[in-house]
Structure 1
Amino acid sequence: MNISFEFFPAKTAEGAEKLKEVHRRLAERSPEFFSVTFGAGGSTQAGTLTTVLDIQRAGSEAAPHLSCIGSTESELRELLLEYKSHGIRRLVALRGDLPSGMLSSGSFRYASELVSFIRRETGDHFFIEVAAYPETHPQAKSPTDDLKAFVNKVKCGANSAITQYFFNTDAFLYFRDKVKAEVDIPLIPGIMPITNYSQLARFSDACGAEIPRWIRNRLQSFGDDRDSIREFGLEVVASMCNKLVNEGVDGLHFYTMNSADATLAILDRIKP
């Protein structure tokens, strides 16, 4: 089974050193690649490149996230040439979020336009990952419109897709069936370890990922008991991963939050 991991650029020298150790531990599991995010409007794109190059030098394939929001064609063209010059062969192409106070969305409004631009500029040099939303993008008019937008991204040149994280396996499987009826593309479930309830609730409310009521109730009942939250989270997420593996998913992509412990613990509970 293919696995991959997501990092975000460290903000301090200490954080960067810690991330190198996290990478070392996760790299022992032979992942297909590590993806590296950016801030809203591409605000940490320099940090993204630095992190990607660190991962590359350590012997792993790295995939920088690339956002079209807040970027011009010339800026994106320059960035693509930069990545290409460093031997980067995989990208995660996203629309991105418009930062507070930013008035212009840039040259492109949608990820499909970014994918088309990458193909026009670089041909087949890059393997392009895009995002997918099993529970529907929070800004989509309807699930049907969201599926159409996803299919359009694929037809514009995407090679594979990574989903937003979820805790409802049926939602993913239903979405996968809908996707497979339209396009033939690997659909990789995004997996979020549960280690901190308040943080998870904040993220989930912002991105439209549902935390089922029974999980919320259990997590809330633990209060500040972090050990109980981690153990319950490990049980829930590992069980979900095993169900997904049994359903023949194309791989698993872990949102590590720049930490190895929870992700490794989940992997240890996944049955081969």
Structure 2
Amino acid sequence: MTTISVPQLEEARRALEAPLYADLAGDMAVSFEFFPPKTEKMEEQLWGAVRTLEPLGPRFVSVTYGAGGSTRERTHATVARIQRETSLAAAAHLTCVEATRGEIDEIAQEYWAAGVRHIVALRGDMPTTGAAFAPHVGGYENAAALVAGLKRLHPFEISVAAYPECHPDSSDAAADLDNLKRKFDNGATRAITQFFFSPEAYFRFRDQVAAAGIDAEIVPGIMPVTNFASVKRMAAMCGTDVPAWLARLFDGLEDHPDARQLIAATIAAELCRRLYAGGVRGFHFYTLNRAELAFAICHLLGVRAKVAQQVAAA
């Protein structure tokens, strides 16, 4: 059973007595995930998002890697440019799919040469939607093996995935935790969770992780819902429970994109606020290359532009 600390009780009391987001300290680390652009217009959107979120001083930003390595070149180009042209620490997603160990090691070496020191190491999904994962001949068999391989190359900072509601390919929660523990035993730095919509799901998982002897940071992954149908499809693929109240909130908003944005920000910010009240001080936002939602949520949580803070202090 989780023991509630005195600071957490004080935070919970203050949250009840004050307006929900009033005067939060902003004492948290945030990070953001982007995906590599496919078109010139999408590239403009991505770099607009990067520049909007950069002043918040995230500890890192990550760039995804398509199923089967389908965005390998675009991911590398995006990560390298972020590392080269911004003040941000860029993290590159890397998967085990459709490549030999030698090919994956070569990609990792290229990242190191480009100044990238952080890898998000994932098993990955097969190119065919719904296809069962099969290790490539001569490839890494899973994320734990990939972590070990990366650590043999260089002292990378490595983030891995965690599943509060259990990975759909795992036989049960215990097997899923064993797999997570192997990732940390092989050198992972932290885990970032799959998105979820219930703070209780995260807190239960955090307790299970601790009980399994894992003493590492488990960062909640936050997905603002702007398109309910799309998120429902993603949730079905990764085993995330979509509560009925979420469907009711988005019902009838198909032709009201601005209203969806407002509701998405409210739901995600409330989830973060409850996690914060439970002691969480790190959040990873799945931005979908849209900056305003993540920026608004961070603002509600007390995170401010670092330049503005320095000017005010001066």
Shorter chain as denominator, the TM-score bin is: over 0.9
Q: 2:62 — aligned with what?
A: 35
Instruction: Name 1:259's counterpart in structure 2.
Output: 290
Q: In the alignment, which of 123, 134, 142 is matched to residue 164 of structure 2?
A: 134
Match for residue 152 of structure 1 among 182, 192, 196 = 182
Q: Deviation per CA, 1:193-236: give whole Å up to 9, x if none.
A: 11111121122122222111111122124343333322222221
Hey, what does 2:89 align to over in structure 1? Answer: 61
TM score, norm. by length of structure 2:
0.82
Relative contact order, higher structure (CA 8 A, sep 6+): 2
SS of 1:131's partner is: strand
Task: State the 1:118 CA deviation.
Answer: 1.0
- Residue 125 of structure 2 is aligned to residue 97 of structure 1: yes
1:200 equivalenced with 2:231 (yes/no):
yes
* Cross-structure match for 2:32: 5
Query: Mean Cα displacement is larger for which, 104-113 or 17-26?
Result: 104-113
Which residue, 49, 63, 67 being the options, matches 1:22? Answer: 49
1:100 is displaced (CA, Å) by 1.8
Q: How many residue pairs align between the two structures?
A: 270
User: Whose Rg is larger?
Assistant: 2
The aligned amino acid for 2:152 is R
Q: How does 1:172-251 map to 2 (within 5 A)?
A: 172-181=202-211, 182-251=213-282
TM-score (norm 1): 0.94
Q: Give CA-to-partner distance per residue, 1:58-113, whole Å, 9 cap, x none.
A: 22100000001211011011111101111111100000011129996321221111
- Identify the residue that residue 140 of structure 2 maps to in structure 1: 108
Give SS of 2:94's match.
strand
Superposed CA offset, 1:4-27 (max 9, x none)? 000000001232232112100000
Offset at residue 138 of structure 1 (A)? 1.3
Moved more, 237-246 or 212-221: 212-221
Q: Tell whether 2:113 aligns with 1:82.
A: no
- Do the aligned residues in 2 keep the contact of 1:187 with 1:250 (CA within 8 Å)? no
What is the aligned-residue identity percentage? 40
Deviation of 1:183 after TM superposition, in Å, equals 1.3
Letter in 1 for 2:148: S
**Consecutive unaligned residues in structure 1, runs of 5 or more:** none
